[in-house]
């Protein structure tokens, strides 16, 4: 087979399967607990309290108050657990689009801010700018859609 043995193909396939399994386990460690946490908060009534507090800001961008928790998770952790949170809340396509764009502008603030700090950028300015742009984009998408 042109210098590629069946043995090498088998080794490469096994390595790919092992790496895929490791990545799946790593993602599951954050995605599954977030899904269950959101579900518990939802049925315990705590999510309703959180939603009521943040409802004015979330309504401004066309989202339910519960989406504030998704926004916080996406900014504190990363984007993968937000997928679980969105699935647990059963959002509409429009709402998912809005929160996705918002999080693309402001996700993973702790890690990205630490990296940006090494370039000499003022950290608080960058954080406020990213959050402001996220909210502005949510507002504009809400109007357009």
- Phi and psi, residue 29, nearest 5°: -65, -25
Sign (positive/negative) of CA torsion 104, 109, 114, 118?
positive
What is the predicted pLDDT for the residue at 59? 94
What is the predicted pLDDT for the residue at 37? 86
What is the predicted pLDDT for the residue at 105? 94
pLDDT(1) > 60: no
Specify burial of residue 42 (Cβ count, 10 A radius: 0-12, 13-18, 19+): middle
What is the predicted pLDDT for the residue at 71? 93
**What is the per-residue burial (b if ≥16 Cβ within 10 Å, else e) of 47-75?**
beebbeebbeebeebbbbbbbbbbbebbb
| Per-residue pLDDT tens over the stretch 62-77 | 999 999 999 999 998 8
Please, which pLDDT band fits residue 129 given cuts at 50, 70 and 90?
very high
pLDDT(2) > 80: no
**What is the per-residue burial (b if ≥16 Cβ within 10 Å, else e) of 86-100?**
bebbebeeebbbbbb
What is the predicted pLDDT for the residue at 138? 97
Cα dihedral 118/123/30/100 (nearest 10): -120
Please, which pLDDT band fits residue 102 given cuts at 50, 70 and 90?
very high
Domain ranges of the chain: 6-144
């Amino acid at each position: 087979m042109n210098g590629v043995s069946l043995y090498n193909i088998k080794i490469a396939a096994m390595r790919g399967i092992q790496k895929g399994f490791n990545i799946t386990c790593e993602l599951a460690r954050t995605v599954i607990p977030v899904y269950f946490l959101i579900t518990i908060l939802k049925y315990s009534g705590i999510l309703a309290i959180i939603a009521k507090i943040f409802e004015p800001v979330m309504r401004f961008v066309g989202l339910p108050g519960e989406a504030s928790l998704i926004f916080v998770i996406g900014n504190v952790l990363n984007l993968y657990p937000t997928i679980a949170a969105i699935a647990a809340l059963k959002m509409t396509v429009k709402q998912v689009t809005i929160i996705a764009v918002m999080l693309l502008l402001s996700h993973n603030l702790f890690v990205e801010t630490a990296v940006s700090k090494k370039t000499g950028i003022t950290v608080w300015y960058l954080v406020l700018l990213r959050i402001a742009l996220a909210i502005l984009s949510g507002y504009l998408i809400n109007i357009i859609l």
